Amino acid sequence: MKRREFIIGCSAAIAAMAGSRITGYSFAPDGSPGNILIYVFLRGGCDGLNLVAPVNDPNYIANRTADVRVTDSGDTEGLSLGNGLAGLDFRLHKKTSALKELYDSNALAIIHAAGLTNGTRSHFDAMDLIERGSLQNKTLNEGWLTRFLKSVPAAPEGNNIASVAIGTVMPTSFLGSNGTLAISNLNDYKLRGDKRYASILQSLYTGNSLLDEAAQNALTSVAEINNQLPKDVTNTPMPYVPENNVKYPESPLAKSLQTLAQLIKMETGLRVASVDYGGWDTHEHQQGAFANLADGLSTALGAFYNDISHHQKRVTLLVMSEFGRRLKSNKSNGTDHGHGNVMLVLGGEVKGGKMYGTWPGLENEQLDNHVDLAVTTDYRHVLSEILLKRMANPKLGYIFPGYKDYKPLNFLNGNALQIDYNNAK
């Protein structure tokens, strides 16, 4: 049986009692609430050339029907961005007005032509590699966020829920992290039935197998969250009320982000959270589907950012996808799997209102393999800048095995630490 890293000198039972499974990084060394990294993954390969588009590039116009393209006028007219790349007229998809507002208020930075430099066009391999933080190795038994959590500087102890995957299951980026919780709805995160179940389960799942650790983790976190949830006089958890009269749209992404806002405000010590947003695999009739997806992304991010207005300085939210899509649209009015893509970074310490990266151009010979947007920024540069400047973690060599050529884009405020390319923790 595969066993997780075990806490040396400490029996499993004692570890559970002490809450050691939920590792303690809740507070910065000075005791103030720490910074928070939110990792939003657009599953299915978002068409970055239709989200943030070089609308006046002749190759862009020539390779796509207007149905799968952002234009400078007419029905598909995009929202013009200042401070674009390569002197081109970059525009956001017309359904992303909230993103445009965030960009204009300098909270959102856009990095284009970024991604995994491994040339895979397989969703599942690309996600796997990105989430394991590797270029080649699909068999690493930990996700990059797990290694981040294991190498973050120690912090004072406290009640805390440091890392959370919003949703039912655990994404690969947290693979091997026995302290990370999966939660979809806080007020519903509880054990039902006979009151004695919790205690007997506590004593039945005491080994150090995957199952035992998952069970202990679930039991301790259920109790912890139930302790922390604001209750009314009848001891019933109160419904969550967002700030600034924010109304979250009805969508899974918005629900996830709302749960996250609630967790941030509960001050349970959150450091890292992941959120998934699926459905971006638009091989056919992309136009309508993409508009809905873009709208869903934009309105949810807008609502969330407004709701956490008192915590924005601590939050850095990154949006990425496994790869972008083919420059040329197919005969189904869709796009097939491509390569380079756009990444978005939102937060109070983001130097937003600006596009970053190097635009490689869309001439045939400028494309990757003559078909796809080339990658000019390794996605790890972007993640590393967040780790270095916002998350106080310089262990790039450990978190991204084999990585050694970090290049800052300077889309964040903060002082970069001395980089550690050593592959040890």
Footprint (CB under 8 A) of other proteins, residues 136-175? 159, 165, 167-170, 175
Stretch that binds other proteins, among 67-75, 107-115, 177-185, 229-237 (CB under 8 A): 177-185
Sequence-distant (6+) residues with CB within 8 A of 8 are none
Q: Is 223 exposed, middle or buried (0-12, 13-18, 19+ CB in 10 A)?
A: middle
CB of 216 to other proteins, least distance (A): 8
Q: Which two tokens stand for residue 89?
A: 């007229």
CB of 160 to other proteins, least distance (A): 9
Q: Which two tokens stand for residue 368?
A: 């990757």
Local structure of residue 166 (DSSP, 8 states): E
Exactly one of 8, 32, 154, 196 binds other proteins (CB under 8 A); which one? 196
Stretch that binds other proteins, among 145-153, 212-220, 267-275, 376-384 (CB under 8 A): 212-220
Q: Rule CB under 8 A: is residue 227 a binding residue for other proteins?
A: yes
Phi, psi of 74 (to 5 degrees): 80, -160
CB of 36 to other proteins, least distance (A): 19
Residue closer to other proteins by CB (options 196, 418) is 196
In the numeric block, the tokens 């790039």 are attached to 396
Q: Rule CB under 8 A: is residue 202 a binding residue for other proteins?
A: yes
Q: Rule CB under 8 A: is residue 66 a binding residue for other proteins?
A: no
Q: Rule CB under 8 A: is residue 73 a binding residue for other proteins?
A: no
Q: Rule CB under 8 A: is residue 292 a binding residue for other proteins?
A: no
The answer to whether the beta carbons of residues 419 and 388 sit under 8 Å apart is yes
Sequence-distant (6+) residues with CB within 8 A of 299 are 98, 249, 251, 254
Among positions 344-383, residues that touch other proteins (CB under 8 A) are: 369
Stretch that binds other proteins, among 121-129, 300-308, 385-393, 394-402 (CB under 8 A): 121-129
Separation CA 140–CA 142 (nearest Å): 6
Among positions 320-349, residues that touch other proteins (CB under 8 A) are: 326, 328-334, 336-337
Among positions 2-21, residues that touch other proteins (CB under 8 A) are: 2, 16-19
> Hey, is 416 helix, strand or coil?
coil
Residue 422 Ramachandran class (φ > 0 left, ψ -120 to 50 alpha, else beta):
beta
Separation CA 297–CA 108 (nearest Å): 13
Q: Which two tokens stand for residue 381?
A: 């540069």
Exactly one of 98, 155, 219, 317 binds other proteins (CB under 8 A); which one? 219
Separation CA 399–CA 1 (nearest Å): 25
Among positions 266-285, residues that touch other proteins (CB under 8 A) are: 278-279, 281, 283-285
In the numeric block, the tokens 């996830």 are attached to 256
CB of 168 to other proteins, least distance (A): 4
Exactly one of 125, 187, 242, 358 binds other proteins (CB under 8 A); which one? 125
CB of 32 to other proteins, least distance (A): 21
